[in-house]
Amino acid sequence: MFNGLLTVTVFLPAVAAVVIALTLKNKQAVRWSAIGVATVTLLLSIIVFVSYDRTVGGVQFVDQITGWIPVDALRAQYLLGVDGLSAPLVLLTGFLGMAAAFGSWRVEHRIKEYFFWLLMLESAVMGVFVSLDLLLFFVFFEFELIPMYMLISIWGSGRPKYSAMKFVLFTLFGGAFMLVGILALFLSQGVGTFAMVSIPEAGIVGIPDLIAGVDLIAPAALIFSFFLVAFAVKLPLWPLHNWLPDAHTDAPTAVSVMLAGVLLKMAGYGLLRINLGFFQETKGFTIHDAAGFLSVLAVISVIYGAIVTIQQTDMKRLIAYSSVSHMGFVMLGVAAVGSSADKLSQAGLNGAALQMFTHGTITGLAFLMVGLTYERTHSRHIPHLGGLARKMPLIAIFFIIAGFGSLGLPSLSGFVAEITIFLGTFPVWPWATGIAAFGVVLAAGYTLWMVQRTFFGPGPQAGGMSEESYEKLTDANWVDMIAVMALTIPIFVVGIWPSVITDTFKLGIEAAIR
């Protein structure tokens, strides 16, 4: 089977990146063609999402080349496809990719290389979401490191080399364990395939069906924890979250947008697809046995993340830590799988999936707005700022929208996701949910407090910018607004009409929990 649509969607940015790097000389031309490519990729991802047939469900748009590695040691194939779980994330990647390209409008330094790596990054992330062969999934999952390393190191600020290295090492560390986990699954008796799902139309029987109820080559608990470590680093889950604040703070704006928006979602996707999808009927150990542990980690992440967030004085670092808290909700939703199969709450899992999508757009928007603010004020130090709303009302409005989204204001998408998680998880883990709900209160605290200190109140504070430069501040222009709208529209649409996304996610979750 070879549909081709997904192959084009995944490789278009990468191929275009190479072509742009080799052919174009003019800065303006590089900029516009990169933005054009990102826009076309968004259109393609919209086509994938819209034409995914919800009445049929299952895996669609399958691209399969069986003989990628046809030896016994690694019987891997080139297998792409989307199901209900991945289709919305492909859409999310499209939106974030375009926002990141527009958000990089003002990059001047080594611009050709910059857009080269940005487009490579988009290809890698897209590949992670549509790969249905574990080894291919891993290839994309790891390849993303190279663009990120370059983007943070060269175009970052602060201590970029340190942060980029930390990011790479943490992810490689997690990925190393995942590789062993992948190999252990593949080599278990009677598996011999890397297919992540069963696709009856293509005659593919996936690992989840093959490993149900049989002995694996290593204890199932060990393999599960290998995957868990990899995704907990990437999510990031306390206590493996250390790399995130540094990477976010020092990365250029568009890269922060991509990092918060889609890279963290690779972990959430992995948790749902692999830790949840594979380990329900495994012999000796299932995800149900770990659910309690996961809920505890989730609560610690939510509360610890929120408390650390409040103390931050750097706007970017503040939003970075808030990601730890918000991604903790994703883990809480995953924990709704419950301590046994009959306690499973599908609503919690749906909420986890939705939270990934909403966090991608909301935090992406927040980073974008911090970037726009910083470009003008040249400071992210909250005590130095103040009264910015008077000089840049548009930026203030959309910053506040991102903030409200993040604290869970109804009619914005964050509310829908969080309420779904709470409603779904409460019957399963009442105490954990009760404590985690305080995370929302804290979120309101740190968000509103930051907005108040930076955008309202009197003008710039002592130690910050001079009165003169404050007077010269300008608002966002139309190019910035395209990036902003690309993220704001999904926030409102999902907030008001959540089923546009949840209907699709639901299909994926149902398939995962069988």
Residues near other proteins (CB under 8 A): 67-74, 135, 138-140, 142-143, 145-146, 149-150, 153-154, 161, 165, 168-169, 172-173, 176-177, 179-180, 183-184, 186-187, 189, 192, 217-218
Nearer to other proteins, 40 or 221 (CB): 221
| HSE of 487, CA atoms in CB hemisphere, 13 A | 37
Q: Quickly count: other Cβ atoms within 10 Å of residue 469's Cβ.
A: 13
Pick from 412, 416, 406: which is nearest to 489 by CA?
A: 412
Residues 16 and 123: their CA atoms lie apart, in Å, by 10
Distance CA 234, CA 224 (A): 16
> Do 297 and 305 form a contact (C-beta atoms < 8 A)?
no
- Integer Cα distance of 276 and 226 in angstroms: 14
Q: Which amino acid is at 216?
A: L
Tokens coding 450? 């930051």
List the one residue out of 258, 277, 322 whose CA is nearest residue 86.
277
Question: Using CA atoms, how far apart are residues 471 and 58, in angstroms rounded to an integer?
Answer: 57
Q: Which is nearer to other proteins, 77 or 377 (CB)?
A: 77
CA distance 89 to 267: 12
Q: Closest approach of Cβ 18 to other proteins, in Å?
A: 11
Shortest approach of other proteins to residue 168 CB, angstroms? 6
Least Å distance between CB 71 and other proteins? Answer: 4
- Nearest distance from residue 322's CB to other proteins, in Å? 28
Identify the H or E element spanning 480.
Answer: helix 478-496
For residue 11, the minimal CB distance to other proteins (Å) is 12
Most distant CA atoms of the chain, gap in Å: 72
Nearer to other proteins by C-beta: 91 or 182?
Answer: 182
User: CB-wise, 66 or 311, nearer to other proteins?
Assistant: 66
The least CB distance from residue 72 to other proteins, in Å, is 4
Q: Which is nearer to other proteins, 18 or 341 (CB)?
A: 18
Identify which of residues 146 and 296 has a Cβ nearer to other proteins in the complex: 146
State the minimum distance, in angstroms, from the CB of residue 309 to other proteins.
29
Find, among 218, 217, 192, the residue nearest to 206 by Cα.
192
Q: How far is the CB of 332 from other proteins (least distance, A)?
A: 29
User: Of the two residues 183 and 368, which places its CB atom closer to other proteins in the complex?
Assistant: 183
Question: Closest CB to other proteins among 229 and 344?
Answer: 229
CA dihedral 271, 277, 281, 282 (to 10 degrees): -60
